[in-house]
Structure 1
Amino acid sequence: MNKKHTYKMRTKTLFLMSFLMISFFVISSCETDETQTVATFTELVMADEFDTDGAPNSTIWGFDIGTGQNGWGNNELQYYTDRSENVTVQNGVLIITAKEEAFNGASYTSARLLTKGKFEQTYGRFEARIRLPYGKGLWPAFWLLGDDSNGTEVWPQIGEIDIMEYVGSEPTIMFGTVHGPGYSGGQSIGKPYQLENDRFDTGFHIFGIEWGPDYINYYVDDILYNQITPDDVPGEWVFNRGPFYIILNVAVGGQLPGAPNAETVFPQTMLVDYVRVYNRRN
């Protein structure tokens, strides 16, 4: 079975909501041009190709379990589990499944994987090849979070780099953002990227950043669409500290997408073909 082309989506009626993600963060003023810093990161230091069926590789991935505080800080509606019903590797892809079901007081279940304490890094190229779900109320993400030094530091001081966020009711648009002190939550700094004549829920796309001292470059399918630097943020630049760890999750509901509605079809899946991290070769 070809892991990149065998999953088919149901035909669904496309409904549009207002451009919610644009109002959720402040758009970075920098443009894609020849003045941007572009580095070459070619030394592969971590890769999960998801070639072994079953549970995700426990030497790389751990799990957040439960509903977190205040729905993981965002009023999310799901209960995160490590059950195979919500997260498994099959046919060369990691499958994160959001389900509508009563579970431990929640109405939805999903999964949130993280490399905290297993793989953490400052700077480099972080990328993943992903096919996204579809539907109102779905909120998948591929992102990095700064280590909290065993609880001695808190968000947003630790920093957050969102490589890919997406709301399921806008299947042609994703966005990348940063959060730090003075520019977190609704004041985060980022920029959307819109596909032309394509959708993120009908095929795989590569989401990545190249991150170095004083810059973060954002890519979709190797297209550089934004760069964020210390000049673009209205507070302390916390991205020269480290290390940061990787998170993959599918949230249901929350402040950004809102709750699912009658048009939302469950279950929904996020398929991850691979996750790779590179350093610059000396």
Structure 2
Amino acid sequence: MKKNSYMALSKLRRTKMHTLLLGKLIVAGLLISCSGKEDLKPLPVDPGTPVVVAGPPTDKGWSFETTPVWADEFTTNGLPDAAKWGYDLGGSGWGNNELQNYTNSMNNASVNDGILTITARKENVGGNAYTSARLVTKGKGDFLYGRFEIKAKLPSGRGTWPAIWMLPTDFAYGSWPKSGEIDIMEHVGYDPTNVHITVHTDAYNGAIGTQKGDAKKIDDAFTAFHLYRVDWTPYAVRGYIDDQKIFEFVNDGKGYATWPFDKKFHLLLNLAVGGNWGGAQGVDETIFPKAMEVDYVRVYKMIEK
């Protein structure tokens, strides 16, 4: 009796253990079935999350189309073409203690015989002692990368400050200088033979004296037209005068503080009077009116690689 009882008890225990194990397997199977296969995959990456690329980009040797994607040859006399140019207006000093009031008057910006003339005049308008013009392509010509060519003749005289340059259209990284600036040509009258090409960023800018740029000596910048050019690619901003490279600023891959030049920019043409740089040695009031003349503006699209 004892042996038979022991065997019956052992059989009962084995049956309970098998039943318990089977129950656990069934529960596990139900859990897997309910959760679905998707839970076994890694979580998807948010497509809106920016991908951070470590290190500088590779120079792919980008070239440019030979036909301009945007241009103004200034073939129609009168005011500049309103389909291509707008105006910055006013006399607030423009962040540099400048002396002019920018207008949209033909007295300050006009086209005649294939030449755009931007003229600074000594006349009191809006409480400013001078008038001039600042033409912009914002909303009418906004570009990401490309070759930019402007053929121009510069004004002479102490106190003049002409510029051919570019600003970001949307200031995606913040106010100046965080979103960048590209100066294709900049000149101050008291330093007559040096013509500058410069960039400004959050890390490198004129406000803290760290801007990156270079200059070329041009003896006849006031009496002859010269070709001012920038080639802008994901790798570098390269500056040329009469097709001679005088400046290169390379993308170091460290982000917008050093390279904000991955957003759309637009062109500006202006002639300032005085200001922190242009007026550093005073303004000769006897020289006005003074003008910057522009033969053409051409923008060539970068060919993707």
User: If the TM-score is normalised by the length of the shorter chain, which range does it land in?
Assistant: 0.7 to 0.9
Which residue is 1:18 aligned to?
none
Q: 1:82 & 1:65 partners in 2: Cα distance?
A: 7
8 Å contact kept, 2:145–2:234: yes
2:79 pairs with 1:55: yes
The answer to whether the 8 Å contact 2:62/2:303 transfers is: no
Q: Is 1:138 the equivalent of 2:160?
A: yes
- In structure 2, C-alpha distance between the alignment counterparts of 1:52 and 1:129, rounded to whole Å: 17
Task: Give 2:12's aligned residue.
Answer: none
| 1:106 paired residue number | 128
CA distance in structure 1 between the aligned counterparts of 2:276 and 2:284, rounded to whole angstroms: 15
Tell me the equivalent position of 2:287: 265
Gaps of at least 5 residues in structure 1 are: 1-35
Q: Is the 8 Å Cα contact of residues 123 and 213 (structure 1) preserved in structure 2? A: yes
Counterpart for residue 41 of structure 2:
none
Matched AA of 2:109: V
Say whether 1:94 aligns with 2:116: yes
Q: CA deviation at 1:240?
A: 3.6
- Normalising by structure 2, we get a TM-score of 0.74
Task: Specify which of 138, 142, 157 is matched with residue 120 of structure 1.
Answer: 142
| Residue 211 of structure 2 is aligned to residue 188 of structure 1 | yes
CA distance in 2, matches of 1:233, 1:107: 44
RMSD, matched Cα = 2.2
**Please, which of 21, 28, 40 is the counterpart of residue 63 of structure 2?**
40
Measure how far apart 1:234 and its partner are.
Answer: 11
Return 5+ residue gaps in structure 2 as ranges: 1-58
Give the % identical residues. 44
Provide closer, same or farther for how the CA distance between residues 99 and 38 of structure 1 changes in structure 2, counting only shifts above 3 A: farther
Q: Which aligned pairs between 1:246-257 and structure 2 lie closer than 5 A?
A: 246-257=267-278
- Count the aligned residue pairs: 241
Partner of 1:174: 195
Structure 1's 99 and 233: CA in aligned 2 closer, same or farther, altered over 3 A?
Answer: farther
Q: Give, in angstroms, the shift of residue 187 of structure 1.
A: 2.4
CA distance in 1, matches of 2:254, 2:247: 14
* Change in 2 beyond 3 A, CA 1:38/1:203: farther
Distance 1:233 1:206 in 2: 32
Q: Distance in 1 between matches of 2:68 and 2:114?
A: 19
Q: Distance in 2 between matches of 1:140 and 1:126?
A: 17
- Structure with greater helix share of residues: 2
Q: 1:233 to 1:101 in 2, by over 3 A?
A: farther
**Equivalent residues of 1:76, 1:251 under 8 A apart:** yes
Question: Which residue does the alignment assign to 1:77?
Answer: 99
CA deviations 1:185-204 (Å, max 9, x no partner) are 23211111112xx3210110
Query: Separation in 1 of the partners of 2:179 and 2:173?
Result: 10
**Residue 118 of structure 1: how far off its partner (Å):** 1.1
Could you tell me which amino acid in structure 1 is paired with residue 231 of structure 2?
E
Who is 2:179 aligned against? 158
State the alpha-carbon separation in 1 of the partners of residues 185 and 109 from structure 2.
19
Higher Rg = 2
Aligned partner of 1:204 in structure 2 is 225
Q: 1:228 to 1:77 in 2, by over 3 A?
A: same
Answer 1 or 2: which has greater strand percent. 1
Query: Shift of residue 154 of structure 1?
Result: 1.2
The match for 1:147 is 169
SS at structure 2 position matched to 1:228: strand
Highest relative contact order (Cα 8 Å, sep 6+), 1 or 2? Answer: 1
TM-score by length of 1: 0.80
In structure 2, distance between residues paired with 1:194 and 1:126: 21
Give secondary structure in 2 for the equivalent of 1:248.
Answer: strand
